[in-house]
A and B are shown apart, each in its own frame.
Chain A
Amino acid sequence: MSIAAQFKLDWPGFSLDVDLDLPGRGVTALFGQSGCGKTTLLRCIAGLDRGAGRLAINGETWQDAGVFLPTHRRPLGYVFQDARLFAHLDVGRNLDYARRRAASGNSRGDAAIVELLGLGPLLERLPERLSGGEQQRVAIARALLSAPRLLLLDEPLAALDHARKQEILPYLERLRDELDIPVIYVSHAADEVARLADHLVVMDGGRAVAQGPLAATLARIDLPIRLGEDAGAVFAATVAERDAEWHLARVEFDGGELWVRDSGVAVGRQVRVRILARDVSLANSRHDDVSIMNLLPATVLAHAAEDHPSAILVQLRVGGTKLLARLTRRSAQRLDLAPGREVWVQIKAVALIG
């Protein structure tokens, strides 16, 4: 079960050259700045743009020397950044358009898809009467109703404001947890990627410069692109306790435990935790007279330069988990943070994401 995608494409001022082997299930994020080629790669996979190369989806060849399935013969679902609902059809008929042309029935019921995306009350509305977030939900449902064997999402949240994004993200999370087909998700937003992806491909200048499981890839400090404010670690944890008095929750992970804001997740549930490098500071000894709640013993693994000459990125190991911390170079020197050194990490903010 895997996706083998190899494409070469030369346009004036832009070239794409990738050779990827992606997992055949779960969410793979194509991540990079605009212009890095991630959307073009997605369009090549869909057959909307034609690059020379080879594409096989879970053993089925869609493109190879002498083989090129046109888009309408590839069993995929594609959600465009701008939704692209058919303006002359109401929501129900937009969905029917996909349903009628689906190669086979859906493994999940059609009604379940409409329900999953909360479209019941919208079925008789015309696309022009929908908000951006609602349009995007219809577009996702429409793509799913065509019974795809691969779902491609091209920055489905990029055109939405913050509130609309928060409205859609829970739907995308449910999708990730309930879908049994591979999803390729293009994004330039690190927070979306951290929240949704299982596997990460970092793109730059038309090439894939790093790839691997999400947590391991995000914790690397040798990434060829700088994440800046978005640099940080993501790992799995389990909710162990909820404190009603202080509205806090205790989560356990491979390396210790953390107190986080109680967001209502039940005890025993798996959550994703994200700790940004800018929210982590280091100390040579344990300080209990600070406001910071989360103090953990750690070992320095390595460090790397940041864009600004004053800053440095430090990679640490806490139990079996890797964390990143961003410090000034002066502090790093003062604390003598050579690899192997034992330190205390002070974590100012922990985000539970999905």
Chain B
Amino acid sequence: MPSLPNLTADLGAVWLTFRLATVTTVLLLLIGTPIAWWLARTRSWWKGPVGAVVALPIVLPPTVIGFYLLLLMGPDGAVGRFTEWAGIGLLPFTFWGLVVASVFYSMPFVVQPIQNAFEAIGERPLEAAATLRAAPLDAFFSVALPLARPGFLTATILGFAHTVGEFGVVLMIGGNIPDKTRVVSVQIYDHVEALEYAQAHWLAGGMVVFAFLVLLALYTLTGRKAR
């Protein structure tokens, strides 16, 4: 068993990771849903560029995103100047800095399943709703959202799990501050650096089990829906 101070540090990292992933997922569902709705239905020329920007984190190394976010949110960056002017202070190396970075980093994993679900629903049920006197907003909440439920389930699970699993972006934006920015993946890295393989095993093994359970849940839930 790990010694007591290390156990507290490990539990702190787990709790912080959970908070970060929860806040990020909730924010992503709120921000991602309108983006996904727009991407699924627009015929605008902007659909391609916006979709590509949303998908960028899938192909870019996390360090690239971390680097640019660091510059943007730093004292000389546009976002940094704004947050200082607004009295929030600078975001890098804070919990909320991590949240902002995670929102960008996990965006495609939330937007794409929701967008696919909206596209699969198509125009037909919404036209039917309109002929039954449902105004557009009414039709969105009473028809589109419930029909897209499997997409939202996938988006929630993937967004949460992907945020739990990030490392590079966290390290660049958050650094390694206990209980503030030191999440599980960073804590594992620390243990390994310090040759504390036993402690690393507890956390790393836990992550493996967590990831397996998440994917198992995903495949059984969406699989059942498909039948």
Find the residue from B132, B138, B149 having the highest chain A CB count within 10 A.
Answer: B132
B130 touches A103 (CB 8 A): no
Name 15 interchain pairs, CB-CB below 8 A, sorted by A. A46-B131, A71-B131, A72-B130, A72-B138, A72-B139, A76-B131, A77-B131, A78-B131, A80-B124, A80-B127, A86-B147, A98-B133, A101-B134, A142-B132, A146-B131
Once A87-B147, A88-B147 are accepted as A-B contacts, the answer to whether A72 and B134 lie under 8 Å apart by CB is yes
**Would you give the 0/1 interface string for B120-154, flagging 1 where the beta carbon is closer than 8 Å to chain A?**
00001101111111111011001100110100000
Tell me, in angstroms, the Cα distance from A80 to B128 when the chains sit together: 8
- Of A84, A142, A143, the residue contacting B127 (CB under 8 A) is A84
Once A72-B136, A97-B142 are accepted as A-B contacts, the answer to whether A86 and B125 lie under 8 Å apart by CB is yes
Tell me, in angstroms, the Cα distance from A71 to B132 when the chains sit together: 9
B interface, by DSSP: helix, strand, loop or mixed?
A: helix
Chain B min CB distance to A242 (Å):
44
Once A48-B127, A84-B125 are accepted as A-B contacts, the answer to whether A72 and B133 lie under 8 Å apart by CB is yes
Interface size class of B (residues with CB under 8 A): 10 to 19
A71-B130, A78-B128, A78-B131 known, 4 other contacts, Cβ within 8 Å: A75-B133, A77-B131, A80-B127, A146-B132
Tell me, in angstroms, the Cα distance from A243 to B224 when the chains sit together: 60
Find the residue from A46, A70, A97, A103 having the highest chain B CB count within 10 A.
Answer: A97
Tell me, in angstroms, the Cα distance from A101 to B146 when the chains sit together: 18
Chain B min CB distance to A68 (Å):
13
A113 on interface, CB distance cutoff 8 Å:
no
A102 on interface, CB distance cutoff 8 Å:
yes
Q: Which residues of B are at the interface with A, using a C-beta cutoff of 8 A?
A: 124-125, 127-136, 138-139, 142-143, 146-147, 149
Interface size class of A (residues with CB under 8 A): 20 to 34
- Of A48, A87, A101, the residue contacting B132 (CB under 8 A) is A101
Tell me, in angstroms, the Cα distance from A304 to B140 when the chains sit together: 55
Chain A min CB distance to B160 (Å):
24
Chain A residues with CB under 8 A of B129:
72, 86, 97
